[in-house]
Amino acid sequence: MKIRKTPSISFQLPFDLSGDHVEAYVKKISDLDASYEGEIPDILADKMAYRVASIPAPTPTYEGSLNFGITYLYPYTINGEYSMTRGHFHQNRSFDEYYVGISGIGFLLLWDGQDEVFVESVYPGSVHYINGKYAHRLINIDAKETLAVGACWNTLAGHDYETINRLGFPVRCFEINQKPVWINRTK
The dihedrals phi and psi of 60, each to the nearest 5 degrees, come to -70, 145
165, 89 Cβ separation under 8 angstroms: no
Residue ranges in 136-155 that form contacts with Fe ion under rule CB under 5 A: none
Q: Which of 150, 152, 151, 147 is nearest to 72 (CA)?
A: 147
Q: Does 97 bind Fe ion (CB under 5 A)?
A: yes
Choice between 85 and 140, CB closer to Fe ion: 85
Which residue, 81 or 97, is less far from Fe ion as judged by CB?
97
Count of residues that bind Fe ion according to CB under 5 A: 1
Q: Which is nearer to Fe ion, 28 or 86 (CB)?
A: 86
Q: Select from 142, 117, 124 the least CA-distant residue to 70.
A: 124
- DSSP code of residue 44: H
3-state class of 124 per DSSP?
coil
Among 28-36, 65-73, 78-86, 96-104, the segment contacting Fe ion (CB under 5 A): 96-104
Torsional sign, CA 4, 5, 7, 12: positive
**CB under 5 A: which stretch of 24-32, 35-43, 94-102, 176-184 binds Fe ion?**
94-102
Q: Which residue's CB atom is positioned nearest to Fe ion?
A: 97
- The least distance separating Fe ion from the CB of residue 132, rounded to whole angstroms, comes to 8
Q: Which residues bind Fe ion (CB under 5 A)?
A: 97
